């Protein structure tokens, strides 16, 4: 009987000692405050800048192009002289018609040459309207469902964006892709023919976003280790979409709470913790 009591006493002492030792364990941790971020997924497409519109300029009547000042690629202002057409009649009393630019822009195409015969409504040249620009994207049947009119399409790596102005409902016959027109304002480094890498930003999320490695998966659930007044709180969280190397956190934590991102021992809820420099 005494032997049994002695063994029980030894077990009790060991349990008390283990408990005291456990209570004295302090994990050294590094923490980071949870922040709200704006994130999104991206689709990358490329296209070249084009004039916002192409405006044809016609001959005012039958005659001969006796003067041609316009050249392709030339910047012109409204009412600047592009060409003269000598009237085709027996009298020399009539002055030549002066063909002037209808807008500020760039000469995109010249469809005539000097001394050539032209007729009423013959197209002489085309002026590109560069008060703004457009690009034409060709999207797959999968991606075309992810955009809508007036969506912002960003130049990759910048905050410069244009707006979707039209979306083709029928794919092009040769490629099977859908044409999308995006209109951009005039920017200093934009020019006709400039190639742009464009970001279509989809599935936006605003809230707590953390690196994937901070999320601990156990028992089929996801957790974050939260530092709460000197104690570890193993907090269950609900994750949303994945954005590159990050997870969106839908619920379970709040902005400003301190998440444990580094530690020197196995963590569990209730463990004492002390913040140290990384």
- Is position 1 within any domain? no
How many domains, the chain?
2
**Bridge partner list, 127:** 55, 107
Query: What is the pLDDT, as a whole number, of residue 6?
Result: 46
In the listed set 161, 193, 225, which residue is the last one of a domain according to the structure? 193
Q: What is the largest CA-CA distance in the chain?
A: 143
What integer pLDDT is reported at residue 23 of this predicted model? 59
Domain boundary among 160, 193, 226: 193
User: What CATH number does residue 218 fall under?
Assistant: 2.40.420.20
- Whose tokens are 């006493």? That residue is 9
- Structure confidence at residue 219 (pLDDT): 86
Q: What is the pLDDT of residue 1?
A: 57
Same domain for 152 and 258, yes or no, is no
pLDDT of residue 13: 46
What does the H/E/C string look like for 82-96? EEEEEECCCCCCCCC
**Domain shared by 178 and 244, yes or no:** no
Q: Report the distance separating Cα 134 and Cα 52, nearest Å.
A: 5
Structure tokens at 273: 């913790």
> CA-CA distance, 28 to 23, in Å (whole number)?
14
Domain stops at, among 166, 193, 220: 193
How far is it, in rounded angstroms, from Cα 47 to Cα 193?
Answer: 9
Answer whether residue 139 is part of any domain: yes
The whole-angstrom distance between residue 244's C-alpha and the CA centroid of its chain comes to 14
- Token reading at 146: 């992810």
Q: In what order do the strands lie in the sheet with 81-87?
A: 97-100, 81-87, 63-68, 117-118
Q: DSSP label at 119?
A: -
From first to last of its 278 residues, what are the pLDDT tens digits of the chain?
555 554 554 554 444 444 444 557 899 999 999 999 999 999 999 999 999 999 999 999 999 999 999 999 999 999 999 999 998 775 666 789 999 999 999 999 999 999 999 999 999 999 999 999 999 999 999 999 999 999 999 999 899 999 999 999 999 888 899 999 999 999 989 999 999 999 999 999 999 999 999 999 998 999 999 999 999 999 999 999 899 899 999 999 999 999 999 999 999 999 999 999 75
Q: Do 183 and 92 have their domain in common?
A: yes
Is residue 174 included in any domain, yes or no?
A: yes
Distance, first Cα to last Cα, the chain:
56
Co-location of 84 and 177 in the same domain: yes
Other Cβ atoms closer than 10 A to 30: 16
Domain-located, residue 256: yes
In a domain, 214, yes or no: yes
Decide: 179 and 220 in contact? Cβ < 8 Å.
Answer: no
Per-residue model confidence (pLDDT) at position 5: 54
Compute the distance between CA of residue 209 and CA of residue 32 in angstroms, rounded to an integer. Answer: 12
140 and 256 share one domain: no
**How many CB atoms are closer than 10 A to CB 29?**
23
Residue 253 counted as domain residue: yes
Whether the CA torsion 62, 64, 67, 73 is positive or negative: it is positive
* Nearest Cα residue to 151 out of 197, 183, 104: 183
Residues 107, 73: Cα–Cα separation, whole Å? 5
Q: Is residue 4 assigned to a domain?
A: no
Same domain, 31 and 156: no
- H helices within 106-221, ranges in order? none
DSSP state of 133: E
Cα 213 → chain centroid: 25
Give the predicted TM-score (pTM) of the model: 0.69
Q: What residue numbers bound the domain in which 251 lies?
A: 24-40+205-275
Residues 148 and 216 in one domain: no
155 and 229 together in one domain: no
Residues 34 and 63 in one domain: no
């Amino acid at each position: 009987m005494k032997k049994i009591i002695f063994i029980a006493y030894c077990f009790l002492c060991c349990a008390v000692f283990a408990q005291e030792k456990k209570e004295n364990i302090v994990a050294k941790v590094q923490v980071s405050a949870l922040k709200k971020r704006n994130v999104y997924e991206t689709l990358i497409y490329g296209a070249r800048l084009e004039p916002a519109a192409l405006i044809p300029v016609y001959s005012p009547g039958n005659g001969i192009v006796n003067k041609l000042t316009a050249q392709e690629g030339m910047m012109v202002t409204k009412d600047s002289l592009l060409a003269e057409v000598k009237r085709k009649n027996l009298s020399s009393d009539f002055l030549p018609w002066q063909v002037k630019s209808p807008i500020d822009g760039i000469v995109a195409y010249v469809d005539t040459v000097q001394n050539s015969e032209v007729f009423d409504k013959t197209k002489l040249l085309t002026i590109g309207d560069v008060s703004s620009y457009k690009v034409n994207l060709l999207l797959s049947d999968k991606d075309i469902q992810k955009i809508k009119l007036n969506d912002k399409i960003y130049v990759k790596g910048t905050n410069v964006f244009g707006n979707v102005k039209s979306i083709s409902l029928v794919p092009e016959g040769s490629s099977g892709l859908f044409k999308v027109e995006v209109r951009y304002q005039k920017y200093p480094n934009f020019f006709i023919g400039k190639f742009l890498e464009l970001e279509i930003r989809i599935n936006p999320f605003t809230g707590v976003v953390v690196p994937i490695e901070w999320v601990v998966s156990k028992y089929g659930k996801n957790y974050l280790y939260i530092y709460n007044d000197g104690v570890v709180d193993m907090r269950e969280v609900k994750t949303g979409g994945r954005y590159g190397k990050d997870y969106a956190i839908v619920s379970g934590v709040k902005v400003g709470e301190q998440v444990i991102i580094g530690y020197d021992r196995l963590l569990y809820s209730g463990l004492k913790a002390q913040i140290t420099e990384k």
